[in-house]
Amino acid sequence: MYIPALQGHDVFYNASDLPLTEAGFIKIDDYQEVQFEKGEKVSKTHIYAVGDSSALEGPGWKAKQGHIAEVMARNLAFNIAEKEKGSDKRKGYKEHLNILCVMDSGDGAAFIYRNHDKEVIFPLPVIGHWMKRGWGWYFKNSKLKKVPRIPGM
């Protein structure tokens, strides 16, 4: 589902009784399970939201990036499987919150990384543009399984 920036999808407002933030994103916990208000009678169980539809919790600098949606989806599959087994094991997304990007300016770029412990901005004049193009090539081809993925990416 495509979600416009800063606002949840209209279907959440108009055709659901899901708990939403003021911006219209679905309230979830660290394990992507929808968080209904305490005491609210809920006839539904096992309702989850991942990616752009969900409201991320965390530091003010958090950003919805593709790698977080991938982590959420992978962890949710694990969490559902563990729940079905009767296990209490769960994996959350919050520990994976970070910003990692190379901002291309056409004639250069800047490498930006931020997590809970540190932040780094490293200017990359001229070569940064070519690094960004190389990353785009790698990302596309690794998703298509034409080249191996770098572990942890």
pTM: 0.71
Predicted pLDDT of residue 80: 95
Q: How confident is the model at residue 3 (pLDDT cuts 50, 70, 90)?
A: low
Q: How confident is the model at residue 153 (pLDDT cuts 50, 70, 90)?
A: low
Predicted pLDDT of residue 36: 86
Q: What is the pLDDT averaged over residues 113-117?
A: 88
Residues 75, 57 contacting (CB under 8 angstroms): no
Name the most confidently modeled range: 40-44, 49-53, 89-93, 102-106.
89-93
Q: How confident is the model at residue 77 (pLDDT cuts 50, 70, 90)?
A: very high
Domain boundaries, the chain: 10-95, 98-143
Q: Pseudo-torsion of CA 102, 106, 108, 113, nearest 10°?
A: -10
Residues of the chain with pLDDT > 70, as a percent, come to: 91
Predicted pLDDT of residue 34: 92
Q: What is the pLDDT averaged over residues 20-35?
A: 91
Predicted pLDDT of residue 89: 96
Query: What is the radius of gyration, based on Cα positions, of the chain?
Result: 18
Q: How confident is the model at residue 41 (pLDDT cuts 50, 70, 90)?
A: low
